[in-house]
């Protein structure tokens, strides 16, 4: 199975919105609604921020939103804040009942 494709880096200024894409195939994102996004700060374990394509865990800021179109999922962060600077990973189940991650995107808040 091949890793999902994410941009290596994105950046934005405080208050702006950014979108991170996650491209897959008809064997993963295109066939599965268990698409998740994770935020990872340096030296920490990843944290689930979006699951089932667009659902936020309880208590998570509404500034984070997810969507999917065909074989590509997207994460949008609105009203960028300094603490949003982190690495972001997408994941998807596959038709083989395995899990595949994206390569990760480093978000820089300018």
Which residue matches tokens 């899990």?
99
What minimum distance in Å lies between the beta carbon of 101 and other proteins? 4
Pick out residues in 70-109 that bind other proteins (CB under 8 A).
Answer: 89, 91, 93, 96-104
Closest CB 6 distance from other proteins, rounded Å: 9
DSSP label at residue 38:
E
Nearer to other proteins, 9 or 98 (CB): 98
Does the protein bind other proteins through residue 3 (CB under 8 A)? Answer: yes
Is the CB of residue 82 less than 8 Å from the CB of residue 41? Answer: no
Q: Which of the stretches 10-18, 43-51, 58-66, 71-79 binds other proteins when contact is defined by CB under 8 A?
A: 43-51
Q: What's 57's DSSP letter?
A: P
CA distance 98 to 1: 9
Specify the residue, 14 or 47, whose C-beta has the smaller distance to other proteins. 47
CA end-to-end span of the chain, whole Å? Answer: 35
User: How many beta carbons lie within 10 A of that of residue 89, not counting itself?
Assistant: 21
Q: Which residues bind other proteins (CB under 8 A)?
A: 1, 3, 34, 36, 38, 45-48, 51-52, 57, 89, 91, 93, 96-104
């Amino acid at each position: 199975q091949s890793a999902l494709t994410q941009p290596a880096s994105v950046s934005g200024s405080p208050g702006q919105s950014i979108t991170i894409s996650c491209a897959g195939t008809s064997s993963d994102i295109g066939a599965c609604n268990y698409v998740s996004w994770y935020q990872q700060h340096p030296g920490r374990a990843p944290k689930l921020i979006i699951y089932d394509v667009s659902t936020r865990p309880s208590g998570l800021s509404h500034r984070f939103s997810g969507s999917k179109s065909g074989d590509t999922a997207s994460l949008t962060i609105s009203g960028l804040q300094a603490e949003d600077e982190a690495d972001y990973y997408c994941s998807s189940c596959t038709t083989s009942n395995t899990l595949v991650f994206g390569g990760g995107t480093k978000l820089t808040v300018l």
